[in-house]
Structure 1
């Protein structure tokens, strides 16, 4: 299962999404201070106690775990494709949610794009590559069945 290329792609997608928890995606400066957005919510820079956005944190972890668990679903390739497609939709929804959190801050003075903004896009690309690998496996197995 690990020697299949789609397993590597799904593992890389899971790592990318879980990196959202640590890598900042957007930095925004408002009248009340400088906010940093990552996978666990908005954090006010310099504040000692930070509240985490539990639904956002659960969604990020869920998107990463879906990719990770989908690696072990290698016996049912059609279900694996459906789960990977669902995960792409979840990552897109997660990206939309992150942008809406920044918009909810109100009047922005400065908006800094951080390296984490590209992680969902890279995870989607890895998941699409995994779907392509799964389809190639399905095609190979169908051609082997025809030879029997």
Structure 2
């Protein structure tokens, strides 16, 4: 069922992971004073920087796929945990990249996009709690039969 609360959490997580990183800046370049967006990282030389937009896209895709697996709550729960791991890796990668930006003599400003993996993780944890609650409700009804 699409109207369940975990579907709303997953939909918001897909929006935060799939749309917002391409509109909100990840950090501001100290040299040029320009915002660096997720899509701009495709043009960089290193593989780590190219992985950031790919991981955002994979996270959004897994969240959308998980919405439509409402009949299989266990698989939904496992995919949410996988998505949490993807976002933890993405968060670590963003922290690493922000600490080792090339040519940074002065501290650059971090943008709101650096916090998107944290928001997605929070939404996925809330969705997992709701899925667990549904699973417990189904098990309790099965006991009564």
Give me the whole-angstrom Cα distance separating, in 1, the residues matched to 2:76 and 2:102.
Answer: 38
Report the RMSD for the aligned CA atoms in angstroms.
2.0
Larger relative helix fraction: 2
Matched, 1:39 2:26: no
In the alignment, structure 1 segments of 5+ residues that lack a partner are: 43-49
Matched, 1:61 2:57: yes
Match of 2:43 in 1: 51
Match of 1:45 in 2: none
In the alignment, structure 2 segments of 5+ residues that lack a partner are: none
Matched, 1:92 2:83: no
Residues 24, 37 of structure 2: 8 Å contact kept = yes
For residue 41 of structure 1, report the CA deviation from its aligned partner. Answer: 4.1
Q: What do residues 32-67 of structure 1 show as CA deviations (whole Å, max 9, x unaligned)? A: x3453332244xxxxxxx826543322211111100
Match of 2:13 in 1: 13
For residue 125 of structure 1, report the CA deviation from its aligned partner. Answer: 0.6
Q: What do residues 54-95 of structure 1 show as CA deviations (whole Å, max 9, x unaligned)? A: 433222111111001100011111111110011011011112
**CA 55–110 in structure 1, closer or farther in 2 if over 3 Å, else same:** closer
